[in-house]
Amino acid sequence: MKEYPTGQIRNIALVSHNGAGKTTFIERMLFMTGVTTRMGSVQAGTAAMDFEEEEIDRNSSVSLSIAPIEWDGYKFNFIDTPGYMDFVGEVNAALKVTEGVLVFVEAVAGVEVGTEIVYQAAGHREKPRVLIINKMDRENVNVNRVRESISANLDGNFVNVQLPVGEGESFKGVIDLVNMKAYLGENAKPVDIPADMADAAEEARMELVEAAAEGDDALMEKYFEEDDLSSEEIIVGLKGAMKQGLVTPILYCAGESGVGTSAALNLISLLFPSPAEAGEFEATDAKGTAVTHPVSDQSPLAAFVFKTREDTYGKTSYIRVFGGILESDSRVWDVNQGQEVRVGSLQLSRGKDQLPIGKLHSGDIGLVTKLGDAATNDTLSDKGSALKIAPIEQPNPIASVAVHPVSQSDVAKLSQSLNRLTAEDLTLTWHTEKATRETILSGMGVTHLDIAVKKAQSKFGVNFSTTTPKVPYRETITKTSEADYTHKKQTGGAGQYARVFIRVESLDDDADFEFASEIFGGAISAPFVAATEKGCRQALEAGPMAGYPIVGLKAVVYDGKEHPVDSKEIAFQTAGREGLKKAMLNAGPVMLEPIYEVSVTVPADYMGDIMGDMNSRRGRVLGMDQEGTKSIVRAEVPLAEMQTYAADLRSMTQGRGVFSMKFLQYGRIPTHLQEQIVEQARKEREEEK
């Protein structure tokens, strides 16, 4: 493929709910432009865009993929994204590096929950959007019904740029309202508008002209004077109105049969801006000052890594050039890592296939393998300018599993494989939970986590089993108490002896541990006081109630006794550890649980069900809001009650509910639940023996 200048490039993200036909649409374009010799099929596992093992098994995209398409002098970088919302991180990455968004609506199902989410996400980022009503040749298609679904579920001023000729099995093509021609059949040769649709086309064109006039003041004046606009003026007006978020055009096609596809492509090239037309890009310079530059070859180099793909052969970095020119076999400065990296052979990605290219002009998208330590969200620049682009905004994880290596060989690979998984997908995170001594993998849903575990096996040869994570409780006290503890051990030779008097005092539940000494007169020498503190800190790892970490406590050693021969630091460590636990048991010990702030968005009809369910989960409702047809419930809910919420919410709302959650604070557990947790911990300790 040849190099394309910035003005001839169109970067477009394809987004929708799962099953709306995004991947099939691209497969049709690849076939239509002669890139592939036969049409790829998602269901048959032959789609060029779905090449990961998990995608072939699921017949569905789980990762973004890129299709550069050459058409009528333009280069389209189409980014196909997953439609399942567990993989929303891939959508966010695509929206970061594109100037336009094609939102697919399935002609029978209408607007589904995933479509609502990605449509709003594109709007929040002020991206021009075009709706494509796809699969127009399916049975039971009703255009009026799908238009009603769009109006009811999406915000915006929607205007037909095409009219469909027929619907369902009788779908023959489309009428282009810009140039007033019909494009019928797979070959889509322009013909006159069918006589029985002439009046409808004229009426729709007038609506289109009126919408286009809103995008430009000069065009509005001309429209008032002449009551019409030329084809070129309609396009100019629509582009302006789309950029301002005033209009969302609607197109129609059947991606699998190809009817309407080329006509859609012709309009897409005209409606969406080039990278340069979309405006300047924002970055920070070497001094950390916010700056803007044109998307131009003459601007300082700023190449953003928006995706990393890991496999058995290493790492592939997907790059969008915002400023300057990125060349093969060059050296650039990785601003985030603070080091020089070598750019080897630049490639263009077409699914799993890679096409070599000498350079990427400003606005273009490509990839490079083995890019040193460069990671997703890094910016490649010149060392002098050191431009740094803001990272991709990603949501907090909402689901977690505890992962357990299956064999001893898997234990050694655990950290490395999890690091590679999270490098490839930034909506995945992992950590070792000290309170439960479990390795926790977190992501955007059960399916997301399940596929991550399968990737670890297929890509990195590591086998994990998963369980529901234990809740990381904590232990604290509610009042002051004292304890006298003596550690005495005689083994025939030199023994061990230490006696300490410890007082524990309650601090705020989220306060760090404090230690103080009130020893006067040398009852315990300074090294042994330090050893006592060390022992107290050791005790913090496992409280006396259920073995969870201790917080919100101050320990004071105020007296003690040592032996001139048998006293050693290890003895005072033991005395400090056991003395603190003994004092805690008489200080009103209580358990704390993590509380999360949860935001649930559902259709208004489900509000009552969500409120009732939140109450059953010991939630405390903070407030309720209304956004269009959606209700938003905000509540504080214990983590213990949210372990299966992703699946439960989907069941309660027939998949139309979404939620987010973030850690808020620790709160005290009701007494009856605390007793159950303590009893369960006791049983587990006995079983381990």
Which residue would you say has higher pLDDT here, 270 or 458? 270
Tokens of 666: 């620790």
List of residues 6+ apart from 227 with CB closer than 8 A: none
Band of residue 550 on the pLDDT scale cut at 50, 70, 90: very high
Is residue 398 within 8 Å of residue 646, measured between CB atoms? yes
Band of residue 533 on the pLDDT scale cut at 50, 70, 90: very high
Question: HSE on the CB side for 204, CA within 13 Å?
Answer: 23
Place of tokens 């005290």: 668
pLDDT of residue 383: 92
pLDDT, tens digit, 9 for 90 and up, residues 150-205: 998 898 999 999 999 999 999 999 999 999 999 998 778 889 999 999 999 999 99
Of the chain, the percentage scoring pLDDT greater than 90 comes to 69
Q: Which residue from 193, 204, 194 is spatially nearest to 161, judged by alpha carbons?
A: 204
pLDDT, tens digit, 9 for 90 and up, residues 335-350: 999 999 999 999 998 8
Q: In whole angstroms, what is the distance from residue 146 CA to residue 152 CA? A: 10
pLDDT, tens digit, 9 for 90 and up, residues 509-524: 888 899 999 988 788 9
- The answer to whether the Cα torsion of 114, 117, 122, 123 is positive or negative is positive
List of residues 6+ apart from 632 with CB closer than 8 A: 599, 600, 601, 624, 625, 626
Q: Which residue from 470, 483, 474, 537 is spatially nearest to 510, judged by alpha carbons?
A: 474
Q: In whole angstroms, what is the distance from residue 270 CA to residue 617 CA? A: 52
In the predicted structure, residue 492 carries a pLDDT above the cut 70: no
Band of residue 566 on the pLDDT scale cut at 50, 70, 90: confident
Q: In whole angstroms, what is the distance from residue 296 CA to residue 317 CA? A: 22
User: End-to-end CA distance of the chain, in Å?
Assistant: 67
pLDDT of residue 48: 76
pLDDT, tens digit, 9 for 90 and up, residues 103-119: 999 999 999 888 988 99
pLDDT of residue 252: 97
Tokens of 136: 């127009």
Written as one letter, the residue type at 159 is V
In the predicted structure, residue 11 carries a pLDDT above the cut 80: yes
pLDDT, tens digit, 9 for 90 and up, residues 235-282: 999 999 999 999 999 999 998 898 999 999 999 999 999 999 999 999
Q: In whole angstroms, what is the distance from residue 118 CA to residue 248 CA? A: 14
Q: What would the mean pLDDT of 196-223 be, rounded to a whole number?
A: 91
What's the residue count for the chain?
A: 689
Q: What are phi and psi of 262, to 5 degrees?
A: -70, -35
Element (H, E) at 78: strand 74-80
In the predicted structure, residue 628 carries a pLDDT above the cut 80: no
pLDDT of residue 290: 95
In 219-301, which ranges are E strands? Answer: 248-252, 281-284, 290-293
Q: In whole angstroms, what is the distance from residue 459 CA to residue 578 CA? A: 47
pLDDT of residue 329: 92
- Mean pLDDT score of the chain: 91
In the predicted structure, residue 313 carries a pLDDT above the cut 80: no
Q: What would the mean pLDDT of 95-108 be, rounded to a whole number?
A: 96
In the predicted structure, residue 92 carries a pLDDT above the cut 90: yes
Indicate the pTM of the whole model. Answer: 0.88
Q: Walk me through the domains of the chain, giving residue ranges and CATH numbers.
A: 6-271 (3.40.50.300), 281-381 (2.40.30.10), 399-470 (3.30.70.870), 475-588 (3.30.230.10), 592-672 (3.30.70.240)
In the predicted structure, residue 689 carries a pLDDT above the cut 70: no
pLDDT, tens digit, 9 for 90 and up, residues 415-450: 999 998 999 999 999 999 988 999 999 999 889 999
Band of residue 51 on the pLDDT scale cut at 50, 70, 90: confident
Q: In whole angstroms, what is the distance from residue 296 CA to residue 302 CA? A: 10
| DSSP letter string, 3-44 | ---GGGEEEEEEE-STTSSHHHHHHHHHHHTTSSSS---TTT
In 81-226, which ranges are E strands? Answer: 100-106, 129-134, 158-160, 162-165, 173-176, 181-184, 189-191
Number of helical H runs and strand E runs in the chain: 16, 36
pLDDT of residue 646: 87
In 174-229, where does DSSP find H-type helix? Answer: 198-213, 217-226
